[in-house]
Amino acid sequence: MIINILAAGPEQYIPKLDSYHSDEGQWIGVDKGTVTLLSKGIQPIMAFGDFDSVSEDEMKQIESGVSKLNRFKPEKDETDMELALNWALEQNPQLIRVFGGTGGRLDHFFANVQLLVQPLLREVPVPIEMIDEKNIIYIKNPGEYHIHKRDSFNYISFIPMTMAVENLTLIGFKYPLSDKHIPFGSTLCISNELLDDNGTFSFTEGILMVVRSKD
């Protein structure tokens, strides 16, 4: 099972959702993202949020279009996205995809990126991808990983999420590395490319963010 979450980010950053719509995927709306799903003919199984960004008419659409509505007070400890993501992780899906999590307010964007780290810290083995029109973002713990070409997402960047990533090795890349120490704040691993259809990356310590981008 794949769980797709659509948040309330600006629509110009959201890719064509029908490319990700399939029988094996379930959709969750977060706040005004629920309205966007309904407008595109996608039926969410559930919605989360305080819904303070929707109009009265939009709220009526949500109430009539979504059978399981989780509504919260605006004054709460978790963001709407965090509430939805926590529920999704409890379902133990094979993949969670987050849309509408980029663009707009930078505080929301940085908070959403930090949420991608939480499953690793909690040792929950569910991969999460944050996807927008030009980028795919995900987070990895130490290990060795295969990476494959994806249509249009030619550029691959590796960004430390901890004080350092140790022994980063890139094989099959235009700019290879071998057992390299990458400190937090380094731009050494920005905008790399695969030489062929496949490559590998590995590291022994730290947490690494992988960003795949279109030009």
How far apart are alpha carbons 212 and 131 in whole angstroms? 9
**Each residue's pLDDT tens digit, 111-122:** 999 999 988 888
Q: Quick one: CA dihedral 175, 103, 7, 76, positive or negative?
A: positive
3-class DSSP string for 91-111: CCCCEEEEECCCCCCHHHHHH
Fold equal for 2-133 and 139-213 = yes
- 2-133 architecture in CATH? 3-Layer(aba) Sandwich (3.40)
Predicted TM-score of the model (pTM): 0.93
Identity of the residue numbered 145: Y
pLDDT digits (tens, 9 = 90+) for 14-36: 999 988 887 678 999 999 999 99
Look at residue 151 in the predicted model and tell me its pLDDT.
Answer: 83
**pLDDT confidence of residue 126:** 93
Q: How many other CB atoms are there within 10 angstroms of residue 143's CB atom?
A: 10
Q: Where are the alpha helices (DSSP H) in the chain?
A: 33-39, 56-65, 80-90, 106-121
Q: What is the pLDDT of residue 52?
A: 86
Instruction: In whole angstroms, give the CA distance from residue 136 to residue 97.
Output: 10
Domain boundaries, the chain: 2-133, 139-213
* Contact predicate 159/189, CB 8 Å: yes
Q: pLDDT at position 141, please?
A: 95
pLDDT in tens, the chain (215 residues): 999 999 999 999 999 998 888 767 899 999 999 999 999 999 999 999 989 888 999 999 999 999 899 988 877 878 999 999 999 999 999 999 999 999 888 999 999 999 999 888 888 889 999 999 999 999 999 999 999 998 899 999 999 999 999 999 999 999 999 999 999 999 999 999 999 999 999 999 999 999 999 98
Q: Are 202 and 163 in contact (CB under 8 A)?
A: no
Q: Please give the pLDDT value at position 10.
A: 92
- In single-letter form, the type of residue at position 127 comes to P
Please state which CATH number belongs to domain 139-213. Answer: 3.40.50.10240
Residue 195 neighbours by CB distance under 10 Å: 12
**Is there a contact between 47 and 141 (Cβ–Cβ < 8 Å)?**
no
The token duo for 142 is 């130490």
pLDDT of residue 131: 97
How many angstroms separate the CA atoms of 72 and 80, rounded? 8
Distance in Å from the first CA to the final CA of the chain: 31
pLDDT at site 75:
76
pLDDT given for residue 194 in this prediction: 97
